[in-house]
Amino acid sequence: MNHKEYISYEKRGKGIIFLLIAEFAGTVAGSFCSVFKEKSGFLFSVNSGGTVFEVFSDTILMMALFLAAAFFCGLFAFGQPLGIALLIAVGAENGAYGTELYASSGLSAVPLFLLRTAFFSAIAILAVRELLKASTAIFLNITGNSAEFPQLGLYCIKFIVLSGFALVASIADSILKSVFIG
């Protein structure tokens, strides 16, 4: 009789909780750094670039750099700590962005911040989750603990889909910023 081991529902999803906590820690750190510094934007400033295209180019640049870094970290056996660091950096960027946005526009900017953070956090968490899976599979293959090697084609497709989501999120962010802030 074949014995198959199933993962119970209680064990699923705990990795996502850890990733959410890591990003939340980055968001809090970014908010505190933004409060105590004059200019806080790590890659861009909320007050720079008033046109929709400038906002779009800033956000798509940030997401493209993040997704490229996450993609390449997933191709290395020791990419896991770098993936968590990338997630914390995205959280810090979200925190700094939210603090600066609130300081410049007040409570009217809260819906924009929540929508933007939800979009970009989901993309970042999914990217880091895929990075962790691929990097762990490569590490286990190198150490001889697993004969399974990650499928590079599927890994590339997942990041192409995440890039499409980042493009849509960047367009939505630039349109929402022009609507809420003007």
Full-model pTM: 0.82
Work out the percent of the chain whose per-residue pLDDT is above 90.
30
What is the chain's mean pLDDT, rounded? 81
146 in helix, strand or coil? coil
pLDDT in tens, 43-56: 445 544 567 888 88
What is the mean pLDDT of the segment spanning 76-90? 90
- Burial (CB count within 10 angstroms: exposed 0-12, middle 13-18, buried 19+), residue 113: buried
The angle that helices 80-105 and 14-36 make with each other, rounded to 10 degrees, is 50
Q: In the block, which residue shows the tokens 């819906």?
A: 111
Interatomic CA distance for residues 74 and 91, integer angstroms: 19
Q: Is the pLDDT of residue 64 over 50?
A: yes
9 confidence band (pLDDT: 50, 70, 90):
very low
- Burial (CB count within 10 angstroms: exposed 0-12, middle 13-18, buried 19+), residue 81: exposed
Residue length, the chain?
A: 182
Sign of CA dihedral 139, 142, 148, 152: positive
Structure tokens at 84: 């968590």
